[in-house]
Amino acid sequence: MKPKILVTRQVFPEIVEALRGRFDVEHNDDDRPWAPDELARRLADKQGVLATVMDRIDEAVLAAAPALKVVSNIAVGTNNVDIPACTKRGIRVTNTPGVLDDTTADLTFALLMAAARRIAEGDAQVRRGDWKLAFAMQSPLGTDVHHATLGIIGMGRIGQAIAKRATGFDMRVLYNNRGRIPEADERRLNATWVERDRLLAESDFVVVMVPYSPAVHHLIGAAEIAKMKPTAILVNTARGGVVDDAALVEALQARRIAGAGLDVFEGEPKLHAGYLALPNAVLTPHIGSATRATRMRMCETAVANLTAALEGRAPPHLVNRELA
């Protein structure tokens, strides 16, 4: 008998086909998001699950899934999964690091530039037939990206990919990270480690790129925003909750900073209602890794993790390493 697995979102047909060769697959054909109780019900007889960041795999879900052996997240982040609860039950949790770094760095730059050059506002103006601002000499004008100072909080693989892009714009790059990256990488990226307060005070663009954990909850809140330049732009393509949305909405309303580019939100898919009326916030629906090629690589990596775990081999990307 083949092991039973659940795929919580619609994935590429070739991925489903490959899975069906080895497993008894229940696949979310219509791509309708499942509420937690439906997810729990569908997991009742499953040994593996291919999940996304929108699926909360918590105590209640795990309690309803006694046969579960592996949660293979199609994502690098795993804050949707209660990892200690999985570890306690001997359930392996895996992720897809590496394959999405450049794609996420691209989106980070897209949001940074969109906020700097007011792309969304301009798009709306053209659609309204409003050209009076086309050659305006005063406000509302944009902000230069080239030769500006970029501050990156979190200098892992994606942070470094963002810094690499900044070199092409002749930007000065400051970064803050728990540890310094190797000197050769600092030189290659023309990046200087500084204390977080200095980064906030000197940067024209502040990008957060840290994995979510309770330790970084509201890493950027009212106090941190108050340290930023009034002309600065904040970009969050990491995780909702790293930025305090209520504090950011208030700061954008009061123009304490100039703008924001946001791909992630606290409690998404819910959104702080204050963002909707803010012309100086560019918003995207958590699409950091959303290109066909990258999503395909993520699915392939997730399948390799799941297959290894269910066939008794070491998954290539195990998160709860205690279970190695």
Query: Which residues in this chain contact ligand GLV in the complex, by CB under 6 A?
Result: 53, 75-77, 100, 288-289
Termini Cα distance of the chain: 25
* Pairing mode, strands 92-94 and 149-153: unpaired
Instruction: Find the shortest distance in angstroms from Cβ 100 to ligand GLV.
Output: 6
> Which CB atom, from 100 or from 162, has the smaller least distance to ligand GLV?
100
Instruction: Find the shortest distance in angstroms from Cβ 288 to ligand GLV.
Output: 5
Q: Where are the alpha helices (DSSP H) in the chain?
A: 13-22, 36-43, 59-63, 83-88, 101-116, 119-128, 157-167, 183-189, 196-202, 222-226, 245-253, 292-310
Instruction: Find the shortest distance in angstroms from Cβ 10 to ligand GLV.
Output: 17
Active-site residue, from 26, 202, 250, 268? 268
CA separation for the pair 18, 10 (Å, rounded): 14
DSSP 182: P
Tokens read off for 74: 């199609």
Active-site residue, from 27, 92, 165, 239? 239
Q: Which residue is at the shortest CB distance from ligand GLV?
A: 77
Q: Indicate left, alpha or beta for 19 from its phi (over 0: left) and psi (-120 to 50: alpha).
A: alpha
**In sequence order, what are the residues at sequence separation of 6 or more whose Cβ sits closer than 8 angstroms to the Cβ of residue 60?**
36, 40
Phi and psi, residue 222, nearest 5°: -60, -40
Compute the residue count for the chain: 324
> Which CB atom, from 162 or from 228, has the smaller least distance to ligand GLV?
162
Is residue 239 part of the annotated active site? The answer reads yes
Active-site residue, from 27, 92, 286, 295? 286
Instruction: Find the shortest distance in angstroms from Cβ 254 to ligand GLV.
Output: 30
The neighbouring-strand residues paired with 48 are 5, 70
Instruction: Find the shortest distance in angstroms from Cβ 206 to ligand GLV.
Output: 19
Q: Sign (positive/negative) of CA torsion 17, 19, 22, 28?
A: negative
Is residue 27 part of the annotated active site? The answer reads no
Is residue 268 part of the annotated active site? The answer reads yes
Instruction: Find the shortest distance in angstroms from Cβ 213 to ligand GLV.
Output: 13
Q: Which of 68, 66, 31, 38 is nearest to 52 (CA)?
A: 31
> Which CB atom, from 241 or from 288, has the smaller least distance to ligand GLV?
288
CA separation for the pair 235, 216 (Å, rounded): 16
**Catalytic (active-site) positions:** 239, 268, 286
